[in-house]
Structure 1
């Protein structure tokens, strides 16, 4: 278990106080009963500390502060006080049974519980306040970092699609289609406009439905299929129920673009891209035929960007699988009700 700097400081202070108590008792030649009492108090405090820490870890997973603030506060406060009181009562009962000849008296138990509640409520409440502020601060920092990553991804996407070569190629194709097939040129122009419209719309969105992303991919692939003819082949196997799930915008397009960028494409060796959703993931698979000449800035920056963007919404990993004959990227689909 890793401890933060604040936890190390708190633990050090607690240990110092415990040692100080026993040193004081030893220096004043305190009787055996005081040592036993002090030892019992220390044991009870440690048990309460460990129990509440375990409760905090459990509720961090089930009821995060930032999404279930009120419910988390009252749940942890009530459960924390209840668990602490159980530990105090059991310890007091064992103390009375084993170290004294007097059985526990109802008035004594009531007094101990009343005092414990008066002490525990403010201490636990202050601790909750510290926890909430700490997590709120971390969430703010994470949100700012996510916004930077999103803006960076959007700018990269816009840069790629507004690249002069991309525009020139598409306009050149459109020009040739106009003279050959006006119906197809009209369809090409509509898809061309749709690609740019969706790219501009996505700049204000953190997540989009898979259905919307697939619509964009369809328009984007139409442009590529006209340009590359039969040398790029796209197939899809999407479960209908997955279309209502979410993912960061342009994720599939970036992965398809990476596949085209890093693999040779020819009539003899067409690039086959298969998109499939299964078990809460969507996978993009292509046959591996890597280009021999390494492209400038051709590192896995796109994949790293996608991984960082996903890390803000889910703990599920982005999986990259490279085989001798294929390259597969699996990205999780996000259920926004679970965020």
Structure 2
């Protein structure tokens, strides 16, 4: 659940506390409060209430409930902060009312009152925000799930498309007469690719080791088909253990390179896959091919949609005159010991 506030959330704050201020002014006017009480009490309760809600939304909920499931830590900090907020609001009211400080209470009962009073004060705006965020996240989740199924269908179609098979059979036909041994290797790699595609067609994420094996087989097909048009390099600066990426992510990035670039004037397209820490980077030099209307980055957009469902991080795309780079986050499904 995304707890970060957006523009409409702050508009909700403005409306809610605008009404609250008007009601407080009306109550104060009936009981004959002094001007200083208007100037101190009202801003104090707004600042403390809004501050408490922001602390819950940006720190306590995401850190202790959503990410770590540390409910005791959450309770401790929530209660402590409510006591502090209640104490500050009480102290401001005591000062603005010009009361005798010797009568100021700070015993156990008063702390309980602080907790109760703060909970009542922030309960409604906090509840409204949570309900709103839950509704928005459900809509977003439904939209992403629908897009995910659409993307899976597109990916599956591209993987088993007659065009893909036709190109590979043409390459294989040429190899059988010219290089029998390489033709056997080509058949073996092609069969490994199709076996992998069939085995992983329902998986949302796949082990990085398996995806890299697939990538090596896929690059072999491209190199065999296009000869010296492409130069591929793989570097791994970290372990692949307990690391995952969306199924077919690397295929999407390699397809993107082959789809939009061709060697020109004998200058090969240089492509690399680099794994370092929590990121997998695929970069390539560029040719002057003009993209067709139906291939304007749809594969990358689909990959971004999948990451919105699987991770709180998203791919980073860099497009310059000399090269194109895509960094995708590596997903960890369990904590490493």
TM-score by length of 1: 0.80
Change (3 A) 1:110 1:274: closer
Unaligned runs of 5+ in 2: 1-5
TM-superposed CA distance for 1:337, in Å, is 4.4
TM-superposed CA distance for 1:130, in Å, is 5.3
SS in 2 for 1:240: coil
Change (3 A) 1:120 1:88: closer
1:203-248 Cα offsets, whole Å, 9 max, x none, are: 3222223222111111111222221223222111122325542222
Give RMSD over aligned pairs. Answer: 3.4
Aligned to 1:227: 225
TM-superposed CA distance for 1:286, in Å, is 1.6
8 Å contact from structure 1 (residues 260, 271) kept in 2: no
8 Å contact from structure 2 (residues 41, 92) kept in 1: no
Q: How many residues align?
A: 328
8 Å contact from structure 2 (residues 86, 118) kept in 1: no
Unaligned runs of 5+ in 1: none
How many angstroms apart in 2 are the aligned matches of 1:61 and 1:143?
19
Aligned to 1:207: 205
How many angstroms apart in 2 are the aligned matches of 1:153 and 1:320?
19
8 Å contact from structure 1 (residues 264, 289) kept in 2: yes
Aligned to 1:312: 309
2:296 counterpart (275, 294, 299): 299
Find the structure with the greater CA-based Rg: 1
How many angstroms apart in 2 are the aligned matches of 1:316 and 1:301?
19
How many angstroms apart in 1 are the aligned matches of 2:234 and 2:261?
20
Aligned to 2:332: 335
1:19-168 residue pairs with structure 2 within 5 A? 19-25=25-31, 30=32, 32=34, 42-59=42-59, 62-63=62-63, 65-68=65-68, 71=70, 75-93=73-91, 99-101=98-100, 103-104=102-103, 109-121=107-119, 132-168=130-166
SS in 2 for 1:159: helix
SS in 2 for 1:241: coil
